[in-house]
Amino acid sequence: MKFSEGEIIDLDIKSLAYGGMGISYYNDMVVFVRGGIPGERLKAKISKRKKNYLEAYALEKIRKSKKSVDPPCEHFGICGGCLFQNLDYKEQLNQKYIQVKDLFTRIGGIQTLPINKIVGCKNQYNYRNKMEFSYSSNRWIQNLAEKTPLDNLNALGLHVRGRYDKIADINECHINGDLSNKIFKSLKNILSNQKIEPFNAKNKTGFLRNIIIREGHSTRQILINLITTSSNTKILSPIVKILTDEFLEIKSIINTIVKPNSGSLMSEKEEIIWGEDYISENIGQYLYKISSNSFFQTNSIQAKVLYDLIIKICEFKGDEVVYDLYCGTGSIGIYAAKYVKMVYGVEIVMSSVIDAIENAKNNNIKNIQFFHGDLINTFQNNQELKLIENPDIIILDPPRAGIHSNTLIDIIKFNAKKIIYVSCNPSTQARDVNILIKNGYSIKNIQPVDMFPHTPHIENIALLTNHE
């Protein structure tokens, strides 16, 4: 049977695909449905037609799911920050568990899976310690009948789902930290009163592009990064004064200057316009320094759960040499150091390496050393790394794209007894695990962890052991 884009069909949503789309079937064809949750029956419009599947988006709800709940957020369905506030949390966990099983079977090629029950998150709201908000002149108008002045379409908020150029002008974010939300609301008032020019993503014009708020949940310290297209202290000074007068918890305000046509918010041009250049946060007994661009686990409280699981799964004996690759600010290596002989961390972002060294010093960790380098080639090019001991255990925590093939070759050559692979993308993790299995490793343990309730993201720990 032929299907046409734009055709409207009735669909029963059976489950969720990794990434958040509902899975349905129509005349034996798989249909991925945006905006559907398991148990719903929907009218949906076909948006893409591929050889083996269709994509569609929900138009109308015919039958409500028994697993549905009322979302607390007034912006749910428009804002792209959350996808599943309308789905019972136990069912969210069930779907994420099924997704990990499917990915490791289908992509990882593993038929007998040593997978544990997914570990849920105690705090299902207000858990994030970092949020990136966009300030735009392209506000999303939800109600076309709304009388909106055309000379003021400014918005401070998050991207509309599926749109890079439209911003939902939100009042608060329910997965953001409580203190960060208060600061966000104050910023909305300040920007409205100060008449600061927002950024236009289509035209690449404007001054203030993004605002990143980082919050130490245990320390109650705040870092704010104002991302602009040029340096202008005169414009930013009133914002800084109002914020620092109102919120004594603010420890750092940074101004990062990026070019208008840049696709990244990272820049070498960064100015401290108030206070320090970092905040601190605890994971368990350890205190970590976090700079504006340093990678740090976004859910501090659940990070302790994750790290305790890593320690438990690894079963350290105390005499091991550990490589902590993609180590960020050193949080996993520092957490594991007391259980092993020595830890060596490698990280590509220099500010993270600097933070990691300071974190080890501040926590009085003596048996750890950090190196700056790109893991694609650093084991060939860094003479210092050539002098250190080979690893008994390798801990991997790569970005979403997974591990580069060159790095995998190096990892396999080290012939470590154990590999602990921590991933925020079990799809690329399963791909990499498949390669490791083909090169002498066996999968012994798979432990999914929910770090981000109401989103499609899944954290997953995989333990591999060497046949030799």
Active site residue ranges: 424
Element spanning 271, H or E: strand 270-275
CA 105 to CA 430: how far, in whole Å?
Answer: 8
The token pair at 270 is 């960064």
CA 359 to CA 288: how far, in whole Å?
Answer: 5
User: Which amino acid would we find at residue 289?
Assistant: K
CA 119 to CA 117: how far, in whole Å?
Answer: 6
Q: Which residues of 277-308 are buried (b: 16+ CB within 10 A; e: fewer)?
A: bbbbbbbeebbbbbbbbbbbbbbbbbbbbbbe
CA 354 to CA 358: how far, in whole Å?
Answer: 6
CA 235 to CA 233: how far, in whole Å?
Answer: 5
Q: Which residues of 35-56 are buried (b: 16+ CB within 10 A; e: fewer)?
A: bbbbbbbbebebeebeeeebbb
Give 279's strand partners: 290
**Is the distance from CB of 404 to CB of 376 less than 8 angstroms?**
yes
* Rounded CA Rg of the chain: 24
The token pair at 215 is 């919050």
Residue 335, CB-side half-sphere exposure with 13 Å CA sphere? 24
Taking residue 76's Cβ as centre, other Cβ atoms within 10 Å add up to: 17
CA 379 to CA 307: how far, in whole Å?
Answer: 26
**Is the distance from CB of 152 to CB of 176 less than 8 angstroms?**
no
Q: Which residue has the tokens 């500010």?
A: 351
CA 162 to CA 126: how far, in whole Å?
Answer: 23
